[in-house]
Structure 1
Amino acid sequence: MSEGVEWALHCCLNLTWVESGEAVTAAKLAGFYQLPTAYLNRQLQALVRAGIVTSTSGPRGGFRLARDPRHITLLDVVTAIEGGQEAFRCQEILRKGPGGRDDVDYRKHCLVSQAMRRADLAWRRELAAQTLADIKLAVEDKRPGTPELTRNRLA
């Protein structure tokens, strides 16, 4: 996974604490973690295309969450940044090995491929089961001052 996933997740989490109706510029979000604004903006645009955040231009423009944090899963964010392809891509090397056959789809019959697919599905299920709201509540429980500190820093 690229660092853009981490950046996008933290930015989305920070947007959960922004006052309703307020937008935050890419520069402010980037400055929060000392990230390069241009690269972060690309991640934010991917989130816009996925319908996770909205973007408005102008003096009061910036980014805000497009949906309630309860309806944004970690998998939504990962998929927006990385795409939906599986982490493991079977190249069917068994076809070229001893006893390999051209009439067999090794992506379906290879035990290594099957194990990797199961792991990928488990990973995706875990990410799909966690929302931004879940992470937000966990952070607030562990560090109650975070929402106010975040709002003040992004203001």
Structure 2
Amino acid sequence: MRMSEGVEWALHTCLNLAWAAADQSISATRLAAFYELPAPYLNKQLQSLVRAGILTSTPGPRGGFRLARPIERVTLMDVVAAIEGPGEAFRCTEIRSRGPGAAPESDNKPPCAIDQAMRRAELAWRRELAAQTLADVQEQVLRSAPDAPERTRRWLAD
């Protein structure tokens, strides 16, 4: 499965917002500059996160984005669904009903084994993402880079 780079951008940005001062809204331009990303494209991802209730936005020259809820209540699946949409990653189009091996329409076909296997795999993937929160990821970051939140906070505040 391939996800857009917007998922990575959104996840990192959510962590950066978690580390920003609590009373601070950060502009899309500033958030994009942190990773040298194109601001208009990141802004599209941020707007998707707002629509999903993960971020809030404040308009105006001093406006920007901040988290709408604690990172303990934001799962990786929440972010993926906000960016990629809630649709299924695999869609069976029943190609087995076409071509020389196709059975007549009236036959009772067993469920497509490929469709079933793909659905099981996607369900496992979704469950794993839903079981992990941004707080879990933050915990991992803090173990390997304990100064990351403070460095990020300082940079965003400049």
Give the TM-score band, short-chain normalised: over 0.9
List 4+ stretches of structure 1 deviating above 2 A. 99-106
SS in 2 for 1:141: helix
Q: In 2, Cα distance between the equivalents of 1:19 and 1:105? A: 61
Q: Deviations over 1:35-80 (max 9, x none)?
A: 0000100000000000000000234311000011000000000000
Q: In 2, Cα distance between the equivalents of 1:104 and 1:57? A: 59
Aligned amino acid, residue 84 of structure 2: E
Aligned counterpart in structure 2 of residue 100 of structure 1, from 95, 99, 103: 103
Distance 1:137 1:91, change over 3 A: same
Distance 1:38 1:105, change over 3 A: farther
Partner of 1:74: 76
Distance 1:105 1:27, change over 3 A: farther
Contact 1:74–1:127 (CA under 8 A) maintained in structure 2? yes
Deviation (angstroms), 1:112: 0.6
Partner of 1:124: 126
Note the residue ranges of structure 2 that are not aligned, 5 or more in a row.
Answer: none
TM-score, structure 2 normalization: 0.92
Partner of 1:13: 15
Identity %: 60
SS in 2 for 1:55: strand
Partner of 2:112: 110
Count of residue pairs the alignment pairs up: 154
TM-score, structure 1 normalization: 0.94
Note the residue ranges of structure 1 that are not aligned, 5 or more in a row.
Answer: none
Partner of 2:89: 87
Partner of 2:28: 26
Superposed CA RMSD = 1.6
Q: Deviations over 1:2-40 (max 9, x none)?
A: 111111111011111111121111001100010000010
Aligned amino acid, residue 113 of structure 1: D
Distance 1:71 1:104, change over 3 A: farther
Aligned amino acid, residue 66 of structure 1: A
